[in-house]
Structure 1
Amino acid sequence: MRGTPGYMAPEWLNSVITEKVDVYSFGIVVLEILCGRKNVDRSLPEEDGHLVSVFKRKAEDGELLDLMDKYNEEMQSNAAEVMEMMKVAAWCLQNEYAKRPSMSIVVKFLEGKMDGENECDFSNPPVLAEVGTIGHPTDTAAWISSILSGPR
């Protein structure tokens, strides 16, 4: 197993490696940018040292805005967009690789070629609630060609 601790998808532990490990890592990077901190920070108390755990806890408590980078004025003035990007991060950080979108779907969403409200259900991200599905457009014909293969 090779990779940077804190950026590796959960499936690395099971040796079922898919193309979606990169999507997970992308979600970590997005979260770090939005929160203005590293994913793993050993200088913080143990319960706050792992950003994904803090993200999940804050989401369950309805306090995601508390995670936003407080030193970045642009983030502060665009809180609604930051919240949308946190949903994208949650979409990418799901533990089950099959529920994560392909990177091409994420790119289409970020380019505005997919409408988040109509194409993707961000209301209950499994990384936060561990139930339901997220990111599956209602019209599968529009995204079927973008799905990458499953396990290698």
Structure 2
Amino acid sequence: MSDIYSFGVVLLEIITGRRIIDNSRPSEEQNLIAWAQPLFKDKKKFHLMADPLLEEDYPVKALYQVLAVAAMCLQEEATKRPLITDVVAALEHLSMNKS
């Protein structure tokens, strides 16, 4: 289950364009997971997690869905994290539905 957590970290890095630890950011944003956890709780703030280099040119629904996958992988309690087969299936589904 730690592999799933690590995958969630990498997925969040890809989505946000941020590194897991970035000391060049303000202190409350230096740890990617600590910064993202409150944002996961409010769908209206999901756009704040999209890589700014995308310049808001992405399907919003797909952003929400891939962030949901990342959030599931980053559950603190290992037993609440999905199996890798479920993660792969979710990502395959997203890649086929380019909406």
**Fold conserved (TM > 0.5)?**
yes
Superposition deviation, residue 79 in structure 1 = 2.1
Contact 2:29/2:35 (8 A) holds in 1:
yes
Q: Distance in 1 between matches of 2:75 and 2:49?
A: 19
Q: Deviations over 1:46-101 (max 9, x none)?
A: 1110111111122335412112111125x632222011100000000000000101
Pair 1:64 & 2:22 matched: no
What does 1:3-152 align with in structure 2 at a 5 Å threshold? 20-61=1-42, 62-73=44-55, 76-112=57-93
TM-score, normalising length: structure 1: 0.56
Q: Distance in 1 between matches of 2:57 and 2:33?
A: 21
Q: Which runs of 5+ in 1 are unaligned?
A: 1-19, 113-152
Aligned identity (percent) is: 36
Alignment RMSD (CA, Å): 1.6
Aligned length: 92
Task: Name the larger-Rg structure.
Answer: 1
Give the number of the structure with larger relative contact order, counting CA–CA contacts within 8 Å between residues 6 or more apart. Answer: 2
SS for the counterpart of 1:38 is coil
SS for the counterpart of 2:53 is coil
Q: Which runs of 5+ in 2 are unaligned?
A: 94-99
Superposition deviation, residue 32 in structure 1 = 0.6
